């Protein structure tokens, strides 16, 4: 099979469409990785380029005082009858490109690839295009690169091309899932006094959740809003049985000034005294915005001062853990990611390209 051609000197709007037209569902990114690698080798100069699985990495070694990393994932969620791409110039949102990955995040990848070939950068650049971001964290290509090629993940600032509507979204929230379990005694519901209803014990959990007052935390001018929510509840045996077991899953989205351990401690305190089992089933740390770092401050200036907190978790957390200030900055409304009618306004692609060109061109 021939490798699809990508023209890195083309308008990044057209490059977005070309990337979308290469299906790349998670764990099936070899074709798009081949195309990206070939394009970088043939159409850029001064880059060291390596392949790691279905990830493609490129970096310059010009001895410049700062290094900027541009990182984006190549995979998408499963296609929903929305490949190949389709351009609609008179949509209610203006001129848009429809298709799987237009938002998350092939438009961001297109911007980065175009700039690699066309920008006269005043910084050394590292580009990381990686695989398997949309599935289990254990398969994330960025994690594999961190284990196998850690020297490639060094920079003064990292820009992740996740959709942010053209705003700089700094840092990210941490996320924690906890399962609360209640036990009881099974009995016939006609003789309920002989039993102990486990489902009823979860009422106190719901009461505490309903009255919970979430924090709002200002960090570097970014306001993070925490949230503690029940996301699943189960229990019951049959229509005539007092249940002897019940459980509820609670999701805590926490500001990046808390560690995972502190978040777990907070959740335990919220439900203290209820006599319930508490099991942490999933956790990921947040990422501080780091906007006080000079390289990050210069990016904010180039974007006209438009920045906000990132709600939700992204791979900026990985960079933060490495001590690298990191932001999310890319075209597309994150609310449209993964949807059948996923689409990106072409004006946002142009604007993000312009802002990053200005930023990368200035020392």
Among residues 281, 327, 283, 331, the alpha carbon closest in space to that of 308 is found at 327
Percent helix, percent strand, percent coil in the chain, to nearest 5: 30, 30, 40
Q: Which residues contact 147 (CB under 8 A, 6 or more apart)?
A: none
CA distance 300 to 99: 30
Q: Which residues contact 28 (CB under 8 A, 6 or more apart)?
A: 75
| Annotation marks residue 75 as catalytic | yes
CA distance 356 to 347: 14
Alpha carbon of 328 to those of 231, 325, 352: distances in Å?
Answer: 26, 11, 12
Give the CA radius of gyration of the chain.
Answer: 23
Among residues 242, 243, 109, 115, the alpha carbon closest in space to that of 163 is found at 109
- The single residue of 14, 29, 75, 124 carrying the catalytic annotation is 75
What are the φ/ψ torsions at residue 120 (nearest 5 degrees)? -95, 90
Among residues 291, 292, 295, 302, the alpha carbon closest in space to that of 66 is found at 295
Alpha carbon of 319 to those of 39, 70, 80, 98, 152: distances in Å?
Answer: 26, 12, 31, 31, 12
- Look up tokens 């007092």; give the residue: 242
- The single residue of 133, 169, 226, 315 carrying the catalytic annotation is 133
Q: 123-162: buried (b, 16+ CB within 10 Å) or exposed (e) per residue?
A: bbbbbbbbbbbbeeeeebbbbbbbeeeeebbebbbbbbbb
Which residues are designated catalytic?
75, 133
């Amino acid at each position: 099979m021939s490798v699809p051609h990508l023209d890195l000197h083309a308008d990044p709007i057209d490059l977005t469409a070309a990337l979308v037209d290469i299906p790349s569902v998670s764990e099936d990114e070899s074709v798009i990785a081949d195309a990206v690698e070939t394009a970088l080798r043939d159409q850029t100069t001064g880059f060291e380029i390596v392949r790691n699985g279905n990830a493609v990495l490129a970096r310059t070694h010009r001895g410049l005082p700062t290094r900027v990393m541009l990182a984006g994932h190549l995979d998408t969620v499963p296609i929903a009858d929305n490949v190949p791409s389709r351009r609609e110039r008179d949509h209610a949102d203006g001129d848009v490109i429809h298709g799987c990955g237009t938002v998350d995040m092939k438009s961001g990848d297109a911007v980065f690839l175009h700039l690699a070939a066309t920008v006269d950068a005043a910084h050394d650049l590292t580009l990381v295009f990686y695989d398997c971001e949309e599935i289990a964290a254990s398969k994330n290509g960025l994690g594999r690169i961190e284990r196998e090629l850690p020297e490639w993940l060094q920079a003064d600032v990292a820009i992740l091309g996740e959709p942010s509507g053209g705003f700089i979204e700094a840092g990210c929230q941490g996320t924690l899932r906890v399962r609360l379990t209640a036990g009881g005694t099974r009995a016939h519901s006609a003789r309920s006094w002989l039993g102990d209803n486990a489902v009823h014990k979860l009422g106190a959990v719901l009461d505490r959740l309903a009255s919970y007052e979430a924090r709002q935390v200002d960090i570097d001018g970014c306001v993070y809003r925490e949230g503690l929510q029940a996301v699943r509840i189960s229990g019951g045996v049959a229509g005539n049985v007092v249940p002897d077991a019940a459980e509820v899953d609670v999701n805590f989205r926490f500001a990046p000034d808390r560690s995972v351990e502190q978040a777990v401690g907070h959740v335990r305190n919220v439900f203290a005294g209820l006599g319930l089992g508490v099991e942490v089933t999933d956790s990921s740390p947040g990422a501080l915005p780091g906007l006080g770092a000079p390289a990050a401050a210069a990016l904010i200036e180039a974007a006209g001062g438009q920045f906000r907190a990132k709600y939700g978790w992204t791979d900026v957390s990985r960079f933060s853990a490495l001590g690298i200030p990191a932001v999310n900055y890319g075209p597309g409304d994150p609310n449209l990611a993964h949807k059948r009618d996923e689409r990106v306004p072409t004006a946002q692609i142009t604007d993000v390209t312009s802002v990053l060109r200005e930023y990368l061109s200035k020392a």
